[in-house]
Amino acid sequence: MAGKVSNTKAPEQTFEEVKYLRHLIEERIPVRVRLSDNQEVEGVVEFYDTNFIRITRQDAPNLFLFKHDIKYLYEI
């Protein structure tokens, strides 16, 4: 039947974020992170939890970034 609306809700947690962050850590993939104030930082994700990620950088201090301050990140 076309147009029928499903009552199935999308899951609140897919765990894809966890899988992706683990992949970045295990493979030591460099990333660029764009923050909500449009600053950008580059480094390697070393650790994460539910609230923040830790970025290790060369020639600069390591950073703990709160996830709510991150617009997006991408591999470089």
Q: pLDDT tens digit string along 19-67?
A: 999 999 999 999 999 999 999 999 999 999 999 999 999 999 999 999 9
Give the Cα separation of 4 and 51 in Å (integer).
Answer: 38
Give the Cα separation of 49 and 18 in Å (integer).
Answer: 9
Q: Is residue 4 pLDDT above 90, yes or no? A: no
Domain 29-75 part of CATH 2.60.34.10: no
Give the Cα separation of 49 and 36 in Å (integer).
Answer: 19
Give the Cα separation of 63 and 43 in Å (integer).
Answer: 9
Beta-carbon contacts of residue 63 (< 8 Å; ≥ 6 apart): 41, 43, 54, 55, 57
Locate the domains of the chain by residue range.
29-75
pLDDT of residue 9: 81
